[in-house]
Amino acid sequence: MSTHLETPCIVIDAAKVRQNIDRMAQTIQSHGVKLRPHAKTHKMPSVAQSQLEAGSHGITVAKVSEAEVMAAGGITDIFIAYPLVTPSKIARAIELSRSIRLIIAVDSLEGARRLSEQAAAAGTSLEVRLEINTGLRRTGVNPDQAVALGQQIDAFDHLRLTGIFTFRGALIDGAATLDLERAGRDEGEWMVRIATAMRDAGLTIEDVSVGSTPTAAYAAAVPGITEVRPGTYVYQDRMQAAFGVCAINDCAASVLVTVVSRPSPDLLVIDGGSKTFATDVQPGTAPLHLVGFGHVIGTPEAVLERLSEEHGMLRVPADCPWQVGDLIQIIPNHICSTVNLHNQVIWQDQGEWTAMPVLGRGMLE
């Protein structure tokens, strides 16, 4: 590990990124399904380009600002998998749609009305997908209302309803699960049934889009699924390794930190706290029951058990050799949220170290 890097920082192993991209692309392509990765993990157009070159058909984002950054980086097929309802965001999406293929999520009649009215005023139309709630109880229309809402959306002159989508992750019947195959197949089969009902009602549903990194391969195997949208796989993280999706050595991203204090034999303090490591995947949470906030490379018995804003507290064996000034690498529980805390990542590729800005992070919209 290079000693010239300022810590804390995220280090990305480029070879592992390429391996992860190729592996997912081959898996999904073997099912004859399109891959539209979610860029929430890396937030970098250059990485999205690598995914496209490996066979992805487009990318997914969660914000208009992310879509703008990706389009500026040369990405021309983008799905905003988040309902847009405020006039300013809709206006920006309309402007972006004039230069690229842009698909927008919708999950309510009011949201559809707002999109249609602004599209009409701008003299254009918008491609939309209806989001379905398949158990996560976040955004999305309930399945028994999908046909009726789809018909209402289809009636707007300035909207083109071309598909449905959902995000459920590793859930079955609303509860977290380790049975990824059952979760993925159940999600896929549910969505295919909804798509069939909508087509029987006269709606044109071309795309049925599902999937997360843990469930993508299983959902893609369901006949009738046309697209999957995993995101975390590009870097992988401790959570995915615990699910069994990858080995811990497949994780391309780690946080490099420095030991700043050893106040007792069993305690190390590092220069990375909650402003460095995401805390959304809490230790002990079902179904993974992770211990600590990350995997400490080289010394797995060390536990990153507490975080304050600028300090990370590691419980270590008394004979642990680390001292003040030593560098440590830690694979975070959740890399997506961790990347969003950093302005740049350090790209490590064949002995070269390059600071690369995370262009899509920290945006307000």
What DSSP letter does each residue of 107-139 carry, written as one string? -SHHHHHHHHHHHHHTT--EEEEEEB-SSS-SS
**Confidence (pLDDT) at 4:** 84
Q: Are residues 83 and 215 in the same domain?
A: yes
What letter represents residue 56's amino acid?
Answer: S
**Confidence (pLDDT) at 1:** 59
For residue 359, give both structure tokens. Answer: 């262009």
* 20 in any annotated domain: no
What letter represents residue 343's amino acid?
Answer: N
Q: Are residues 218 and 292 in the same domain?
A: no
Range of the domain at 259: 248-357
Q: Are residues 289 and 331 in the same domain?
A: yes
**Confidence (pLDDT) at 243:** 96
CATH of the domain at 285: 2.40.37.20
**Confidence (pLDDT) at 161:** 98
Taking phi first (over 0 means left), then psi (-120 to 50 degrees means alpha), and beta for anything else, what does residue 224 get? left
Q: Are residues 285 and 170 in the same domain?
A: no
* 341 in any annotated domain: yes
Taking the C-alpha atoms of residue 24 and residue 151, their distance in angstroms, rounded to an integer, is 35
141, 149 Cβ separation under 8 angstroms: yes
Helices within 201-339 (DSSP H only): 216-220, 238-243, 335-339
**Confidence (pLDDT) at 3:** 63
* 240 in any annotated domain: no
176, 135 Cβ separation under 8 angstroms: no
Degrees to nearest 5, angle at CA 300 with 298 and 305 = 125
**Confidence (pLDDT) at 59:** 98
- CA-nearest of 273, 283, 270, 272 to 314 is 270
The number of folded domains in the chain is: 2
- Last residue of a domain, which of 164, 196, 230? 230
Integer angstrom CA distances of residue 350 from 233, 277, 347: 21, 26, 10
* 156 in any annotated domain: yes
Q: Is 337 helix (H, G, I), strand (E, B) or coil?
A: helix
**Confidence (pLDDT) at 365:** 59
- Last residue of a domain, which of 230, 265, 298? 230
* 15 in any annotated domain: no
CA 175 to chain centre: 20
Per-residue b/e over 118-137, b at no fewer than 16 CB within 10 Å?
bbeebeebbebbbbbbbbee
Q: Are residues 200 and 53 in the same domain?
A: yes
Residues 6+ apart with CB under 8 A from 241: 247, 248, 250, 251, 295, 331
Taking the C-alpha atoms of residue 264 and residue 315, their distance in angstroms, rounded to an integer, is 10
Integer angstrom CA distances of residue 242 from 177, 183, 246, 280: 12, 16, 8, 16
Residue whose structure tokens are 């749609």: 97
* 51 in any annotated domain: yes
**Cβ of 289: how many Cβ atoms within 10 Å?**
9
Taking phi first (over 0 means left), then psi (-120 to 50 degrees means alpha), and beta for anything else, what does residue 280 get? alpha
- CA-nearest of 196, 141, 133, 195 to 169 is 133
| Euclidean distance between the first and the last CA atom of the chain, given in angstroms as a whole number | 36
Q: What is the pLDDT along the chain (365 residues), one digit of tens a residue?
A: 556 899 999 999 999 999 999 999 999 999 999 999 999 999 999 999 999 999 999 999 999 999 999 999 999 999 999 999 999 999 999 999 999 999 999 999 999 999 999 999 999 999 999 999 999 999 999 999 999 999 999 999 999 999 999 999 999 988 999 999 999 999 999 999 999 999 999 999 999 999 899 999 999 999 999 999 999 999 999 999 999 999 999 999 999 999 999 999 999 999 999 999 999 999 999 999 999 999 999 988 999 999 999 999 999 999 999 999 999 999 999 999 999 999 999 999 999 999 999 999 866 55
Helices within 201-315 (DSSP H only): 216-220, 238-243
Say what the alpha-carbon torsion angle 61, 62, 64, 70 is, to the nearest 10 degrees.
-20
Q: Are residues 182 and 277 in the same domain?
A: no
* 364 in any annotated domain: no
97, 124 Cβ separation under 8 angstroms: yes
Q: Are residues 222 and 274 in the same domain?
A: no
DSSP state of 141: B
Q: Are residues 222 and 252 in the same domain?
A: no
CATH of the domain at 89: 3.20.20.10
* 236 in any annotated domain: no
Q: Are residues 198 and 95 in the same domain?
A: yes
Q: Are residues 225 and 305 in the same domain?
A: no
Q: Are residues 217 and 146 in the same domain?
A: yes
Residue whose structure tokens are 């539209």: 36
- Radius of gyration from C-alpha coordinates of the chain: 22
166, 141 Cβ separation under 8 angstroms: no
Q: Are residues 206 and 268 in the same domain?
A: no
- CA-nearest of 23, 18, 9, 54 to 349 is 18
- Last residue of a domain, which of 197, 230, 263? 230
Pairing of strands 101-106, 77-83: parallel
